[in-house]
Amino acid sequence: RAKKEPLRRCCYYEPEMDEDVRNRRVLQADILNALEDQQFQLLYQVQCCVATGEPIGYEALLRWMHPEYGMVTPDRFIDAAEQNGLIIPLGEWVIRQACRDAASWSKPYKVAVNISPIQLVQMDLPRIITESLLEAGLPASRLEVEITETAIIDDKLRALTNLRRIKALGVSVAIDDFGTGYSSLDTLNSFEFDKIKIDRSFLADCCDNENAQAIIRAVLALGQSLGLPVLAEGVENEQQLALLRAMDCAEAQGYYFGKPGEYREGDEGGNSLQFASS
């Protein structure tokens, strides 16, 4: 099965029905059923301080533990869930679960949650976040929401209103996959974000690509002049990390520090030992 191909289950044939529509309907029933059946799970990926290697927070990454297909990553079902609206209950589950999980950790790490553009324009999103924090007993300062640039394009007014309300709760807001959208700078200009997450595509070939390096440097300068910490996504090796350290990048996340996994006390990922000795 090709990685990017949407999840599909072809168990019947109705020639009059467009295949896409049919797949979407099957997937819709599946997602609802999966929510009830608790087939979704959050994995956590550590976010570290570049200077010290210490963990700062954990990003919640959604997985579908499918009874037939095994572990399914979000690129296979988020699009469909956004199209049929099920991202709303699914996204609500993610927020509640992430708050509950973070409240159970013995150390006060931040938890970062991805918010879909569809969720961001729902007027009850701030209420859902407030309730989730209260229910879990998690201080708002320990929650961060991650939104992509595209999230503010469609219904800019509603998205911005919600972001301001969420921020007023004391929750921080990060801009995710920075540099890959249509209007990165306009997005940055329209809201006071708390963090820039530079997309992992810029990190991928930064060690032998001067262009990518120049772009990373420029984003870091942008962050600095806006007073925003920058987190580099997709750090996979020591060379990339050395480069980020030399460039004074504040935070990093990627397989080098830890893959998304189940959060375990005392095994928080990070790389403190390696850092301590270097």
What is the contact mask toward ligand C2E in residues 47 to 86, using x (rule: CB under 6 A)?
Answer: --------------xx----------xxx--x--------
Return phi, psi of residue 145, to 5°: -105, 140
Footprint of ligand C2E on residues 161-180 (CB under 6 A)?
176-177
Query: CB under 5 to 8 A by kind: which of ligand C2E, Mg ion, none does 75 bind?
Result: ligand C2E
Q: Which does 74 bind (CB under 5 to 8 A by kind): Mg ion, ligand C2E, none?
A: ligand C2E
Compose the 175-204 pattern: x for residues touching ligand C2E by CB under 6 A, - for all others: -xx----------------------x----
Distance (Å, whole) CA 200 – CA 178: 9
Among 47, 97, 114, 187, binds Mg ion (CB under 5 A): 114
Instruction: Tell me which of 30, 149, 177, 268 binds Mg ion, using CB under 5 A.
Output: 177
The residues with which 232 forms a beta bridge, in sequence order, are: 198, 252
CA distance 251 to 80: 32
Chosen residue from 79, 131, 236, 248 binding ligand C2E by CB under 6 A = 236
Report CA Rg, the chain: 19
Which of 56, 71, 68 has its CA nearest to residue 261? 71
- Please say whether the beta carbons of 218 and 230 come within 8 A: no
Q: Which residue is nearest to ligand C2E (CB)?
A: 254
What is the chain's length? 278
Number of residues that bind ligand C2E (CB under 6 A): 22
State how far the alpha carbon of 241 is from the alpha carbons of 204, 253, 261, 273, in Å.
12, 10, 21, 15
Chain residues that interact with ligand C2E, rule: CB under 6 A = 45, 61-62, 73-75, 78, 91, 94, 114, 116, 146, 176-177, 200, 233-236, 254-255, 260
